[in-house]
Amino acid sequence: MARQSKGRRKLDIVKITKESNLLVTFSKRRYGVFKKASELATLCGAEIAIIVFSPSMKVFSFGHPSVETVIDRFFSGNSTQTSGVLQLAKIHRNARVRDLNLQLTQVTTQLDEEKKRGEELDQGNKAGDGYRWWESPVEELDLPKLEHLKASFEMLRENVTKRVEELLIQTTNHTQFYNPNSAPVNEALPTDPNNDVFDESLVYNLGFQNGNGFF
Amino acid sequence: MTRKKVKLAYITNDSARKATYKKRKKGLMKKVSELSTLCGIDACAIIYSPYDSQPEVWPSPLGVQRVLAQFRNMPEMDQSKKMVNQESFLRQRITKANEQLKKQRKENREKEMTQVMFQGLIGKSLNSLNMMDLNDLGWLIDQNLKEIHKRVETLNKEANNSQVVAAAATYGAGPSVEVKISPEQAERQAFEVNIDAMQRQQWLMDWINPQEPMGFGGDEVNNLPFGDANHNALWSSAFFP
């Protein structure tokens, strides 16, 4: 796959000439600035306001505790109000922010793990050496190989179907497994071996035709 | 660049917090400045630290006032449309991260099942798979079969167009690699492959050759799956009940 972008490179801090690049840069860097501001507020308890105009003259702003309060403080010569109600509001807000930061950390950790797992899986999937030709993309295979592969796949699919049936039968047997001598306390479990729930047609509806793989 | 990951929480150690504040404030100002220059846009930053009652600003007190005036001149709705605070910003980030996580999990699942599929192709037992796995596996197999079918059709079309008469029964002799096949021959091949199961099993069994070293000699077609006796055993348990 040819590289679309040039990746990380040293950038001269002058206005970007190409408009598409400029818009992308604006979008990414604006987000980055907000992220840094958010971190500064969390880590050091700073109060911050950032206001940014976009190339199309829309305005983006970030503020902690809020853009308004910081602007007010800036204009009012900086007296921080310490009324009881505001303090309480502040405490609640800080608690919520703390929770959100925790949540964010959790999700990003999971994301990193999954990404790492993805890379490991890629390693395993490399159709290395030309040995495992059947793992190569279909475009690289000639007709005999394709026919051969098709047959193998069809065989495998049959086995999958068989195995699904096996599992369904096992499950049916399990639910029939209760003591027939115990007094029925309430409506007994259905024991009809022809229970509709395990209808065989279910086997063929399990996404084979629906194309419902991977949710 | 930091070496270790910083926990996203208020720094309780006073000196560490102060040092972090100095560094990060400087970095933030720089980033805002770069953004402004690179994109040719107006911006401002106001930062109040616990250490100083006077704010630190970018670009300058006057510059800030100018930008704020510009800001206040806009309709109320435009001002607040893209306004965020810590909470809303973090929520947005969490949502985005969750979406990425879901996508990555889905990709990983597909990669994983692809491995399972290729292993199954060469005889590994399906017994360790649960119903969900089998379902996904079946779907994946169908996807692959679709691709193969499409490719076969394309090749057959090309054979039609190129009007190359297939030479000798190269298929009968033993498949070598790139051969232009006439439509009739292609059809015959397809037919031969689709015959009854017994014969198909025999045909696949022919590829199993325990004496043959697992190398790549000349004939590269001759090495679908079954390299050694172990695979052979697995194969027989799965396919010859």
Neighbours of A2 (CB within 10 A): 3
Contacts of B118 in chain A (CB under 8 A): 132, 134-135
Contacts of B179 in chain A (CB under 8 A): 142-144
Give the CA distances from residue B123 to residues A121, A135, A150, in Å, rounded to whole numbers and listed in that order: 20, 15, 15
Q: Is residue B189, in this structure, part of any structural domain at all?
A: no
Q: Looking at the whole model, is its pTM more than 0.90?
A: no
A62·B67 Cβ contact <8 A: no
**Contact (Cβ atoms closer than 8 angstroms) between residue A33 and residue B35:** yes
A62·B85 Cβ contact <8 A: yes
Task: Using the structure block, give the residue that is written with the tokens 């605070």.
Answer: B85
Q: Is residue B29, in this structure, part of any structural domain at all?
A: yes
List of residues 6+ apart from B238 with CB closer than 8 A: A159, B123, B124, B125, B126
How does DSSP classify residue A22? Answer: H
A144·B221 Cβ contact <8 A: yes
**Contact (Cβ atoms closer than 8 angstroms) between residue B25 and residue A40:** yes
Confidence of residue B230 (pLDDT cuts 50, 70, 90): very low
Distance from CA of A137 to the nearest CA of B (A): 9
Q: Is residue B147, in this structure, part of any structural domain at all?
A: yes
Q: How many CA atoms lie within 13 A of A26 on its CB side?
A: 25
Respond yes or no on whether the N-terminal peptide bond of residue B213 is cis (omega within 30° of 0). Answer: no
Q: What are phi and psi of A146, to 5 degrees?
A: -60, -45
Respond yes or no on whether the N-terminal peptide bond of residue A144 is cis (omega within 30° of 0). Answer: no
Report the SS3 class of residue B167.
Answer: coil
Q: Do B150 and B101 have their domain in common?
A: yes
Supply the ipTM of this predicted assembly. 0.71
Q: What are phi and psi of A191, to 5 degrees?
A: -115, 10
Domain of residue B53: give its range. Answer: 1-62
Q: Is residue B141, in this structure, part of any structural domain at all?
A: yes
**Percent of chain B scored above 90 by pLDDT?**
50
Q: Which of B143, B162, B181 is the last residue of a domain?
A: B162
Q: Do B148 and B97 have their domain in common?
A: yes
Give the CA distances from residue A136 to residues A151, A168, A185, B114, B178, in Å, rounded to whole numbers and listed in that order: 16, 34, 60, 12, 16
A153·B27 Cβ contact <8 A: no
Number of domains in chain B: 2
**Percent of chain B scored above 70 by pLDDT?**
66
Residue B220 has pLDDT above 50, yes or no: no
Q: What are phi and psi of B234, to 5 degrees?
A: -60, -45
Q: Do B103 and B44 have their domain in common?
A: no
Closest-approach residue (CA) in chain B for A151: B193
Query: Which tens digits make up the pLDDT trace of B186-213?
Result: 555 544 444 454 544 544 444 444 444 4
Distance CA B241, CA B236 (A): 7
Q: Is residue B58, in this structure, part of any structural domain at all?
A: yes
B25·A46 Cβ contact <8 A: yes
Residues of chain A short of pLDDT 70, as ranges, are 1-6, 78-82, 125-130, 175-215
- Which of A53, A23, A56 is CA-nearest to residue B79? A53
Residue B234 has pLDDT above 50, yes or no: no
- Residue B207: both structure tokens together: 């590829």
Query: Which tens digits make up the pLDDT trace of B69-85?
Result: 999 999 999 999 999 99
Residue type, B183: P
Q: Please state whether beta strands A59-64 and B83-85 pair in parallel, antiparallel, or not at all (unpaired).
A: parallel
CATH number at residue B47: 3.40.1810.10
B142·A48 Cβ contact <8 A: no
Which of A52, A118, A146 comes nearest B151 by C-beta?
A146
Q: Which of B162, B181, B214 is the last residue of a domain?
A: B162
Query: Which tens digits make up the pLDDT trace of A180-207?
Result: 665 555 554 445 555 444 444 434 434 3
Q: Do B4 and B56 have their domain in common?
A: yes
| A12 in contact with chain B, both atoms CB, cutoff 8 A | no
Which of B6, B45, B148 comes nearest A149 by C-beta?
B148
Q: Is residue B133, in this structure, part of any structural domain at all?
A: yes
Distance CA A147, CA B3 (A): 53
Closest-approach residue (CA) in chain B for A134: B224
- Residue A132: both structure tokens together: 């495992």
Q: Is residue B19, in this structure, part of any structural domain at all?
A: yes
Confidence of residue B163 (pLDDT cuts 50, 70, 90): low
Distance from CA of B216 to the nearest CA of A (A): 7
pLDDT of residue A118: 93
Q: Is residue B238, in this structure, part of any structural domain at all?
A: no
Closest-approach residue (CA) in chain A for B156: A143
Distance CA A50, CA B85 (A): 10
A214·B25 Cβ contact <8 A: no
Confidence of residue B35 (pLDDT cuts 50, 70, 90): very high
B175·A144 Cβ contact <8 A: yes
Q: Which of B162, B195, B222 is the last residue of a domain?
A: B162
B134·A96 Cβ contact <8 A: no
pLDDT of residue B51: 86
| A121 in contact with chain B, both atoms CB, cutoff 8 A | yes
Distance CA A39, CA A101 (A): 10
Strands of the sheet containing A47-53, edge to edge, are: B56-58, B43-48, A47-53, A59-64, B83-85
